[in-house]
Amino acid sequence: MQRVRVFAFGFACFMFGVIVNASMGDKKVPFNADVFVAKEPKAAATTLLDGALKMAGDGSWERIAVGRAWYLGGDKAKGQEIFDSVTSSKKVKGSDWYRIARVYVEAGDWDKAAPIFDKALTMEPDDDSGMVEYGALLNVRKDRTKAEELFKKALTKNPGEFWHWVGAGGSYLGVKPQ
């Protein structure tokens, strides 16, 4: 009886793998180490990031991650094109906007980041974590009034959240949230 159970479990796992593999469809990217070995960095990056974008399918966070690599890696136009494809979708969420705003912050493009944070907060007005993150970034940039408005909302909504206290407190010392 024990052998039958082990066999049945093994067979079920195998079938699950077959189903997952089949469901990947067009997202499958054949791996071959030659796709990046001994290529110049830009060609290796292009091969790997194009593969990642194919694997991402419609996944917004995954697509944003690929766009982030391009944007921060020096090809802002290619990164922006990917961000635009995510944000033009009918399925775009506030969390997508936050992720893109973070890329702009990393790139030092605050003029692009701030309106995107505002858009994300409009889409998800109860996101206390987003409020603290945006507030901390504002505080680091010396916009204390707006930062403290966001801190007050977030800490009133969720006063026991340890990370809110750390993010807000660190911003008064010039520390960006992570």
DSSP state, residue 177: P
Whether the CB-CB separation of 97 and 87 falls below 8 Å is answered with yes
Q: What pLDDT score does 30 carry?
A: 63
pLDDT at 38: 62
Task: Answer yes or no: are the C-beta atoms of 121 and 134 closer than 8 Å.
Answer: yes
pLDDT tens over the chain, length 178 residues: 666 554 444 544 444 444 444 444 555 656 666 766 767 889 889 989 999 999 999 999 999 999 999 999 999 999 999 999 999 999 999 999 999 999 999 999 999 999 999 999 999 999 999 999 999 999 999 999 999 999 999 999 999 999 999 999 999 999 999 8
What's CA 162's distance to the chain center, in Å?
22
pLDDT attached to residue 178? 85
Q: What is the pTM of this model?
A: 0.79
pLDDT in the model for residue 18: 42
- pLDDT for the residue numbered 32: 67
Alpha-carbon distances of 89 from 11, 51, 97, rounded to whole Å: 40, 21, 12
108's torsion region: left (phi>0), alpha (psi -120 to 50) or beta? left
Segment 109-140, tens digit of pLDDT: 999 999 999 999 999 999 999 999 999 999 99
The DSSP secondary structure of 78-115, one letter per residue, reads HHHHHHHHHHTSTT--HHHHHHHHHHHHHHT-HHHHHH
Domain ranges of the chain: 1-26
Q: Are 168 and 136 in contact (CB under 8 A)?
A: yes
